[in-house]
Amino acid sequence: MTKMACVPGFCAEKHMQSIYSDFVRSEFSSVQLRKFFSMLLDDRGGATLWHCTAGKDRVGVATALLLTILGAEEEAIYADYMRTNDYVAADVAEAAQAVIERLDGKFSSEHITDMVTTLYTVQKGHLCSVFDTMKIIKFRTIFIIIQMIVSVKYIFAIIKVINSRLFL
């Protein structure tokens, strides 16, 4: 991504990273991912096909998570994810040209091409946003559990003090 993928009020890369973070942060997405993995675990024999509108974002994240669960190497997961760009190159050029024509000179064609490329392709940073968000969620969860343990110990200590004073 170049700096040209941003225009006043909108940065395509930040937009995509936010969307990808939401794939593991939002309640709706969590429910959908649970359904996806439940369907994979529901062995009815035969193959399972999964897809989404563009076939790169939600499918890319779900596939990366599946590969992670199955123990694939991180390098292989990113390589598989990045292969998406091999299949969307023609669509990117066509979409960029359509947007250029529609905006009729409001932005430079380089800006538009960079923005469309960012929105229509996958970038390693998009998938990194998913894994970074998961690490933050994991850290927060561990922190909350530690707080709960400390709180419970603190509560028991207070109860012990109160009991010792009540029964003197």
* Bridging pattern class, strands 10-11 and 6-7: antiparallel
- Mean pLDDT, the chain cut into blocks of 10 residues (168 residues total): 66 88 87 85 80 84 89 93 89 86 81 85 91 82 67 67 60
Helices 58-69 + 74-82 axis angle, to 10? 160
- Residue 73 and residue 160: Cα distance in Å, rounded? 50
Q: What is the pLDDT of residue 106?
A: 80
Q: What is the pTM of this model?
A: 0.73
The closest of 88, 97, 35, 94 to 57, measured between CA atoms, is: 88
Q: What percent helix, strand, coil does the chain show, rounded to 5?
A: 75, 0, 20
Interatomic CA distance for residues 119 and 113, integer angstroms: 10
Residue 132 CA to residue 107 CA, distance in Å, equals 33
What value, to the nearest 5°, has the Cα angle with vertex 97 and ends 96 and 100? Answer: 85
Q: What is the pLDDT of residue 79?
A: 96
The owner of tokens 């709180």 is 151
Output the pLDDT for position 135: 86
Q: How far apart are CA 110 and CA 3, in angstroms?
A: 11
**pLDDT at residue 1 in the model:** 45
How far apart CA 145 and CA 138 sit, in angstroms, is 11
pLDDT at residue 148, rounded to an integer: 66
Question: What are 6's strand-pairing partners?
Answer: 11
What is the CB-side half-sphere exposure of residue 19 using CA atoms within 13 A? Answer: 17
